[in-house]
Structure 1
Amino acid sequence: MTHINVLDPGASPLDYYGFELRRLREAAELTQRQLGDILNYTGSLVGQVETARKVPTLEFSERVDAALGTGGLFSRLVELVLRSQLPSWFRQVAELQARAAEIYSFEMGMVPGLLQTRAYARAVLGAMDRADLDDRTAVRLARQRIFEKAEPPLFWVVLSEASLYQEIGGPETMREQLAYLLAFQGNPLINIQVLPFSAGAHAGMTGSFDIYRFRSDPAILYTEGYGSAHPSANPDTVTYCSLRYDHLQAAALSLKDSAELIRRLMEERYGDQLA
């Protein structure tokens, strides 16, 4: 007799997802292989999701909803699943990003996660640890769905010019990442400024930080260490760093000039001529 792994649906969002997937698949009288054929995935993958050994993606979930007629159940549930897979210290930050009406970010060394391409995110996450890299990459990219909400947040980022020169993932990955940044030109909700080397000493010398603003709650300052998150709602601290951010924006290039610098850098370093 084949052993069937029995999940506790209350153990975690991932276990609940797998439990419901198996229950509804069996109710539809489909084998894992048959459902996999319908979804254009392998039956093995379906089995791994059902036994909570594989994290489902949004695309997988949307196909399951369509195949089993679940009214969007798995597309909604996958957001909880992906958030639960974040490092425990980062889950509060993801929650803040999901609730924020405005996000202001200053980045010293790399493109922020909310604007990373798949290849760039994979290179960043795999720098020291390649375990479960596909799943961890999918989890990071899922955070970008905040821009698909009915009322997406205003996102303003100031990138140090150094973050554009730091070659992460190789030339092709960097070319794609820089092109992706340029794709946001004209989007009033996603604004990218570059703090050039010529700015010299600046208000963000002590490191990267984010400021989250909400419609009805106090603003929160967020800084990050190795494996640790440091959110603060102290109004004096938030005000102080908001002033720093104002100075960073003033010292940075305009949106238009920032895009031109990114375009020029991409062409000069990676030979990609954009029209």
Structure 2
Amino acid sequence: MNDIEVWLTTLWCMARTNLTPLSRALGDAIRKQRTASGLTVRALADKMGLRHTAIVRLEGGTRRAPLDELAALLGTVGTPPDERDRIMAMARDVDRDTWSTSGGSGATAQLATLVRYEREAIALTEANALLVPGLLQVEPYIRSVMEGLPPDVIDARTYYRIGRQQILTRAEPPKMLALIDEAVLARTIGGPAVMAHQMDHLVSLVDAGNVEVRVIPLAAGSAAMMASGWMLVELPDGPPVVHLDHAQAGTMLHTRRDVAAFEQARDTIIAATLNPEASRQMITRYAQSYRSTQSEE
């Protein structure tokens, strides 16, 4: 079996198993260490005295290896001590109901896992009371949100976010529902020109057909589950997951109980929003207002 066949086997395993976000990230981390060592799946299996399918399932997130076996594997592929400790910590937590990270390599691994989910999704729902959802942001808005960070960090994060947005313009894109507060439209980030651009972009995405933006008007008061940003990801071959976005931290949820609470929250928030056409009209009015302000400056 060559490596392409091995990878296809991994995908088959993933499609048939209810993976958790952390088990996927753990499998990715193990695969990264193996490929960095230059070993094929079969070569590593031979060194470990295992069947190659055991490595395939481990890297696919469908097999939980005993901790002593995982430690031996990481030693075989020459994993650096710090990275070995991080992967072992992930393995110890792999069956937890939630996966929370705060900065560093853990946050990077979680973001990479979220991006994989986004690419596989058939539907996305993102709720945000403070900012335009990241997948819908234009470049000047992204840069303005990140103002104060080092320029090289801003560049890297901006290009990464723009890359994530390509799922919305590909062939057969996922359906996306963005639930935002009117305050998101009113909050001037980057100045009137940036905001006019951002409002126009939202309208163009709505007109393209696969993105729906619904706005909670200020007069509606508060809405449940809008205190922090979150995304509900629906998949074609597995249960949905939720990502909670906090300042410099994130949490992923996958249990049916936790996810159901956000599915219910989505319906509750929708009931408080303007309908899609009224939301589009509101966004258009804000765009016109920002252009008027820009011309007066």
Same fold (TM over 0.5): yes
Question: Residues 272 and 262 (structure 1 numbering): CA distance in 2 closer, same or farther, change over 3 Å?
Answer: farther
Aligned mate of 1:98, from 97, 119, 124:
119
Q: Counterpart in 2 of 1:211?
A: 232
Aligned mate of 2:271, from 250, 262, 265:
250
User: Could you give the per-residue CA deviations for residues 120-144 of structure 1, whole angstroms, max 9, x where no partner exists?
Assistant: 1111123444334223211110101
State the AA in 2 paired with 1:238.
V
Between the two structures, name the one with larger relative contact order (CA 8 Å, sep ≥ 6): 2
Aligned mate of 2:198, from 173, 177, 190:
177
Aligned mate of 1:235, from 256, 271, 290:
256
Q: Secondary structure at the match of 1:131?
A: helix
Q: Secondary structure at the match of 1:150?
A: coil
Q: Counterpart in 2 of 1:222?
A: 243
CA contact (8 A) 2:126 2:177 kept: yes
Within 2, Cα distance between the matches of 1:127 and 1:265? 26
Report the number of matched residues: 192
Q: Secondary structure at the match of 1:253?
A: coil
Within 2, Cα distance between the matches of 1:122 and 1:88? 23
Give the number of the structure whose residues are more often helix, by fraction: 2
State the AA in 1 paired with 2:138.
T
Q: How does 1:41-56 map to 2 (within 5 A)?
A: none
Within 1, Cα distance between the matches of 2:287 and 2:149? 27
Identity between Structure 1 and Structure 2 (%): 26
Instruction: Show structure 1 runs of 5+ residues with no match.
Output: 1-9, 13-83
Q: Secondary structure at the match of 2:205?
A: coil
Question: Residues 257 and 127 (structure 1 numbering): CA distance in 2 closer, same or farther, change over 3 Å?
Answer: farther
Within 2, Cα distance between the matches of 1:124 and 1:145? 20
State the AA in 1 paired with 2:177.
W
Q: For structure 1, which segment, 119-128 or 217-226, has the greater mean C-alpha deviation from structure 2 after superposition? A: 119-128
Within 1, Cα distance between the matches of 2:158 and 2:167? 16
Q: Secondary structure at the match of 2:233?
A: strand
Instruction: Show structure 2 runs of 5+ residues with no match.
Output: 1-34, 38-104
Cα deviation, residue 272, structure 1: 7.9
The answer as to 2:222 corresponding to 1:201 is yes
- TM-score (norm. length: structure 2): 0.60
Q: Counterpart in 2 of 1:150?
A: 171
CA RMSD of superposed structures (Å): 2.3
Cα deviation, residue 11, structure 1: 5.9
Q: Counterpart in 1 of 2:184?
A: 163
Q: How does 1:31-180 map to 2 (within 5 A)?
A: 87-180=108-201
